[in-house]
Structure 1
Amino acid sequence: MRITVIGTGYLGATHAACMAELGYEVLGLDIDPEKIATLSQGRTPMYEPGLDPLLEKHVTSGRLRFTTDWAEAGAFGDVHFVCTNTPQRKGEFACDMSYVESAFDLLAPHLRENAVVVGKSTVPVGSAARLAERLAANAPADIADSVELAWNPEFLREGYAVQDTLHPDRLVVGVRAGGRGEAVLRQVYAPMIAEGVPFLVTDYPTAELVKTAANSFLATKISFINAMAEVCEASGADVVQLSAALAYDERIGGKFLGAGLGFGGGCLPKDIRAFMARAGELGADQALTFLREVDSINMRRRSRMVELAREQCGGGFLGRRIAVLGAAFKPNSDDVRDSPALNVAAQIQLQGGQVNVYDPKAMDNARKLFPGLSFAPTALEAAAGAHVVLHLTEWQEFRDLDPAVLGEIVAERRVLDGRNALDPQRWRTAGWTYRALGRPGE
């Protein structure tokens, strides 16, 4: 069995390398020649722990190749995984399906008999059935009846994508009743199934909903504890202690109960908005009205961090230097899409603050997105002369900073912990004023 991966962004590059690791011959396709050239050298255009060595290994062995040629991909593959992006449509909540639709249209005429196309992109419920019709309409007429679509949503966490692909917590496949999709995907994922990974077979709409429902639940849990942080700030309670107490309840659990600056990235924000938009189209918008508040709570955390920074600067940012530690939306990633850290940095700069940003991996992407911000090559240089230090992405490097050493180079020892990840006592002992979202002051 030979596999193609259509779209070699974060999802596609990871999936291609991991399929090669499972022993398959893999051909990755993308319309961006520069990206294909980089991948063909065994390098990725993004940072993801463990991905570059895996990619280099299988490019070197010849098991993994890349192309921009749709005819080559169609002739090569028995199974075609579509991993193209589905961003938020400009000016709307809805999902932009143009990249997925284009991939299907360009691939279909080149498919061979009995090919199986597998969608992995996150799409609005109802998309798979429509794309199956589109696939059949555009495939060569003499083989159209033999071409089949399956839907296999991805559940990758940035920073753990290789692990999540090779050792997932579940495999969900939406297939046509009576078709070959289930058998083919059982064969593709046989090593994982042998490990005991649950293999769940559903219809198309259920498979599509699993991903959007999972992301909506996670976003809701994060926003719930951040709503509790707002109440804690108003009442003088400590949200970290509250979270710890809640986590002992087995019905609740402790994962995603870390209060702080909230979620960002290329998945959760746009996925919950697209889910709301699709529910409205289906006439079920009232079922998801709570997601509007989930989104609102998340965005308020950013504004609250700006307010706290302004308070620490004496009521205004003019003439004040602010160090921002973090640019990626989460640690172990260089992804700055909808990054809370960069959003806060930009808001402070717009209000007159002199902002210096540092991140271990996301500096290049941050510069492209916010070229007007100032960037420092190290955490210490970002903090030099700062009136307040903002900890906004919880990299281990920032947790390991020595507050005593940092205290010698700042203008004022004031730190705002936007992730509740620093040790308050350690910083206060070193003479710092420590504040965090959802926690009482000194």
Structure 2
Amino acid sequence: MTLRISVIGTGYLGATHAAAMAEFGFEVLGLDIDPDKIAMLTAGRVPMYEPGLSELLLKHVAGHEGSTGRLRFTTSAKEAAEFGDVHFICVNTPQRKGEFAADMSYVDTAIDDLAPHLTRPALVVGKSTVPVGSAARLAERLAALAPVGEAAELAWNPEFLREGFAVQDTLRPDRIVVGAQSERAEQLLREVYADPIAAGVPFLVTDYATAELVKAAANSFLATKISFINAMAEVCEAAGADVTLLSTALGHDERIGRKFLNSGLGFGGGCLPKDIRAFMARAGELGADQALTFLREVDSINMRRRSRMVELAREQCGGGFLGRRIAVLGAAFKPNSDDIRDSPALNVAAQIQLQGAQVTVYDPKAVDNARKMFPSLAYADSALEAAEGAHVVLHLTEWAEFRELDPAELGAVVAERRLLDGRNVLDAEVWRAAGWTYRALGRPS
């Protein structure tokens, strides 16, 4: 009998996972408490921008011409429990208000809502990013609440998705990590992931705690690497060196590698910032807080990049923002996404506006989300419109569209040709040749 799968939580992670499971050939039921989101997904529309996800969804959502019909959505936990053999928990674990620790309320609620309806053996699989030790606690709670008792098993299978590449990362991940306590749980997940396993994707089986730590450790390492090169950018500015050349030289060392050595405005989004903070908080609870004290400096370096960009912009405005117009290119925390959570670009834009400048923001996909979160900023429908009359242009999200801008065309609409490249990806010589003053973090002026 072919397994049937439910996916609890249909946000960025859940919607992508549900569509991918349907692509693998399974009958899938997505569950969410938000009826508007369920209605949107049922209509074949994605509530966020993620390349390739809309097409994959339409390929499988029931009721659409030409679809496989393998994917449906519901707001009923009882229906999901009765439907699925394997239940994936894909809900959010945001940072707790006023604390570093993760808010586990959504995960706890998912277990509490599903478990009382599990009347036959089932496997519940956590994909959410959680503090180490959570799975063991949740496994006990699941068995206590489920009518089938310990026949309702728990496994932990962390996600490693990159926004902008989530579909391919789900269909062909670089590894599959499974924290399981029984051979049955392992075998069920081998069946779920049979397609990528057959394609050679490593399948790693661990205990609960190790599976939970893999995600926390991976994000902490990536954040550390980004902050390291940004710390080097600070030294480069002081010494008159060029951090982009330094990054290239370091990247040729295979022990270091070139990826995530791009100096600039730093990281944001819904994962790295809150995950390293939650990791620090959990280490403190375990009595191992000294092991992660370096992450405080990683976080601090990252936030300093935003302040430094504001300082550079103020310098380019002659020492003050009053009466100055600033164009900000970028609102999403990274390209190929409309996610503005902890966006460095919007953080910089808001700081500059608070100091008296008129700020206009343009982003290819994230303007609508930005307008809801920062309604006091002005928004444009194009880079040219945003730059009209600007005294300084800030490039803060590295969309391909911005790398392809014509310096002469943009220069024709600005008040002054001053460009701050917050992502170190524009060709400085091309912009300078067109009469622009080009500055970037960690590079000579």
- TM exceeds 0.5? yes
The yes-or-no answer on 1:172 pairing with 2:174 is no
Q: Deviations over 1:81-113 (max 9, x none)?
A: 000000000000000000000000000011132
Which residue of the partner structure matches residue 47 of structure 2? Answer: 45
SS where residue 276 of structure 2 aligns? helix
Given the alignment, which residue of 146, 153, 157 partners 2:151? Answer: 146
| Aligned amino acid, residue 5 of structure 2 | I
Partner deviation per Cα, 1:344-398 (whole Å, 9 max, x = no partner): 0000000001000000000111011111111011110000000000000000000
| Alignment-derived partner of residue 268 in structure 1 | 272
Unaligned runs of 5+ in 1: none
Query: Which amino acid in the other structure matches residue 89 of structure 2?
Result: V
| Residue 302 of structure 1 pairs with residue 306 of structure 2 | yes
Match of residue 91 from structure 2: 84
Coordinate RMSD, CA, aligned? 0.5
Q: Deviations over 1:391-412 (max 9, x none)?
A: 0000000000000010010000
1:11 to 13, 22, 31: 13
Q: TM-score, normalised by structure 1?
A: 0.99
CA distance in 2, matches of 1:159, 1:415: 26
TM superposition shift of 1:179? 4.2
SS of the equivalent of 2:426 reads coil
Q: What do the CA deviations read for 1:171-215 (whole angstroms, capped 9, x no partner)?
A: 000001x34110100010011100000000000000000000000
Confirm or deny that 1:185 pairs with 2:189: yes
Q: Secondary structure at the match of 1:81?
A: strand
Q: Distance in 1 between matches of 2:183 and 2:403?
A: 52
The answer as to whether partners of 1:27 and 1:73 remain within 8 angstroms in 2 is: yes
Quote the residue 1:440 is aligned against. 444
Tell me whether 1:203 sits opposite 2:210 in the alignment: no
Would you say 1:112 and 2:119 are equivalent positions?
yes
Distance 1:402 1:372 in 2: 29
Q: Spell out, residue by residue over 1:221-257, the C-alpha distance to the aligned partner (whole angstroms, 9 max, x if none).
A: 0000000000000010000000000001010000000
Q: Indicate the SS of the match to 2:416.
A: coil
* Contact 1:17–1:64 (Cα < 8 Å) also in 2: yes
- Report the Cα distance in structure 2 between the residues aligned to 1:196 and 1:56, rounded to whole angstroms: 28
Amino acid at match of 1:325: L
d(CA) in 2 for partners of 1:228, 1:267: 24
> Normalising to structure 2: TM-score of the pair?
0.98
- Identical positions, percent: 81
Any conservation in 2 of the 1:148–1:180 contact (CA below 8 Å)?
A: no
Which residue of structure 1 lines up, in the alignment, with residue 26 of structure 2?
24
Distance in 1, Cα, partners of 2:237 & 2:99: 33
Distance in structure 1 (CA, Å) of the matches to 2:257 and 2:23:
34
Which residues of 2 match residues 128-147 of structure 1 at below 5 A? Answer: 128-140=135-147, 143-147=148-152
- Quote the offset at 1:157 in angstroms: 0.1
Instruction: Name the aligned partner's letter for residue 102 of structure 1.
Output: T
What is the SS of the residue equivalent to 1:180? helix
Conserved in 2, the CA contact under 8 Å of 1:2 and 1:24? Answer: yes
Q: Deviations over 1:306-335 (max 9, x none)?
A: 000000000000000000000000000000
Say whether residues 1:62 and 2:69 are aligned partners: yes
1:265-290 deviation line (CA, Å, top 9, x unaligned) = 00000000000000000000000000
Could you tell me how far apart the structure 2 residues matched to 1:217 and 1:157 are?
15
Matches within 5 A, 1:18-417: 18-59=20-61, 60=64, 61-140=68-147, 143-176=148-181, 178-417=182-421
Structure 1 CA distance for aligned equivalents of residues 367 and 16 of structure 2: 22
The count of corresponding residues between Structure 1 and Structure 2 is: 438
Residue identity opposite 1:185 in structure 2 = L
Q: Distance in 2 between matches of 1:181 and 1:267?
A: 27
Give secondary structure in 2 for the equivalent of 1:250.
coil
Tell me the amino acid that sits aligned with residue 4 of structure 1. Answer: S
Q: How many Å separate the matches in 1 of 2:216 and 2:89? A: 17
Distance 2:349 2:243 in 1: 24
Deviations 1:121-143 (A, max 9, x none): 00000000000001011101xx1
Q: Give the superposition deviation at 1:145.
A: 2.1
Q: Secondary structure at the match of 1:200?
A: strand
The letter for the 1-side match of 2:14 is: G
Q: CA deviation at 1:422?
A: 0.3
- Structure 1 segments, 4+ long, off by >3 Å, are none
Contact 1:328 1:336 (C-alpha < 8 Å) held by counterparts: yes
